[in-house]
């Protein structure tokens, strides 16, 4: 999966050794150039690399026309399955779900239609306490127990999931709030996530400029993280007018303690 595609997307993917063929779903927050201008080139590169499996792109309404217009202007022919899923960014919804992951979207408050995302890794199956089971049970019995349901044998013996299993991998959540001005309405959508990425383009000295341009300050991002009771706040989208990102963390910590500043190539484990 990939979130947003700026102009340097391809070079960054290569730099950090991300396998192009592993990307099956791309989520675009909004149609400002620094968030999607790299998408047409990436789509074209997939073709040059001989891609055959489908690519799904999720983004605001108007995305397909914008991307296909650039591809047509360059006479770029796409010969693999390409699906655009245009989203009404005003309505929270589930965009994607499989056995292990759910991707939800919610509205952000920016100058153009913009959406945030929550990526939720589903809880893993429960683990069997095999040392407690003296006999060999049929496969479907283990499947029942791992799904949290009790198993009753033909002899009437009851194996309760609570007693004979232990919890599996816990749910983990990552929320991505790209360009947005301060808006407490997003708090219910990101409540309790393990990691919140929230833009902090400006410091509070430029509060009026942040509001005018539809962006947030670091202090406002800290306020959102505190209200949502997230585990960790990751700041990003810094204006280049500031020589260091340390001041952003300092400002956000006025309201929230666990703050990190994003940088290129950063890897985090939840």
- Residues annotated as catalytic are 34
For residues 118 and 103, the answer to whether their CB atoms sit within 8 Å is: yes
Longest CA span, the chain: 74
**The tokens 């409540």 sit on which residue?**
191
Looking only at the bridges linking them, the beta strands covering 232-236 and 259-261 are parallel
Token pair recorded at residue 141: 């019995």
CB 163 within 8 A of CB 181: no
Token pair in block for residue 70: 């650039």
Distances in Å between the Cα of 182 and the Cα atoms of 202, 219, 221 are 12, 10, 7
- For the CA atoms of the chain, what is the radius of gyration? 22
Strands (E), the chain: 2-3, 25-27, 55-60, 82-87, 93-97, 101-108, 114-121, 127-128, 151-152, 158-159, 165-166, 172-177, 195-199, 232-236, 259-261
């Amino acid at each position: 999966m990939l979130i947003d595609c700026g102009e340097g997307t391809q070079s960054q993917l290569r730099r950090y050794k991300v396998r192009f063929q592993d990307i099956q779903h791309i989520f675009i927050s909004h149609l400002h150039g620094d968030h999607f201008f790299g998408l047409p080139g990436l789509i074209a590169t997939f073709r040059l690399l001989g891609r055959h499996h489908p690519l799904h792109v999720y983004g605001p309404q108007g995305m397909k026309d914008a991307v296909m217009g650039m591809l047509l202007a360059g006479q770029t022919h796409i010969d693999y399955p390409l699906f655009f899923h245009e989203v009404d960014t005003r309505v929270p919804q589930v965009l994607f779900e499989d056995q292990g992951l759910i991707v939800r979207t919610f509205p952000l408050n920016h100058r153009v239609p913009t959406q945030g995302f929550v990526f939720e890794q589903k809880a893993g199956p429960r683990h069997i306490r095999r040392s407690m089971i003296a006999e060999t049970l049929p496969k479907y019995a283990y499947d029942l127990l791992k799904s949290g349901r009790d198993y009753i044998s033909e002899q009437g013996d009851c194996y309760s999931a609570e007693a004979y299993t232990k919890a599996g991998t816990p749910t983990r959540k990552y929320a991505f709030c790209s360009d947005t001005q301060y808006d407490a309405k997003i708090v219910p959508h990101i409540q309790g996530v393990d990691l919140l990425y929230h833009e902090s383009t400006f410091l509070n000295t430029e509060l009026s400029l942040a509001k005018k341009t539809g962006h947030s300050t670091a202090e406002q991002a800290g306020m959102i993280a505190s209200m949502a009771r997230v585990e960790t706040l990751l700041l990003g989208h810094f204006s280049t007018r500031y020589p260091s990102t340390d001041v952003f963390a300092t400002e956000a910590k006025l309201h929230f303690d666990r703050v990190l500043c994003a940088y290129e190539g950063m890897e985090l484990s939840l």
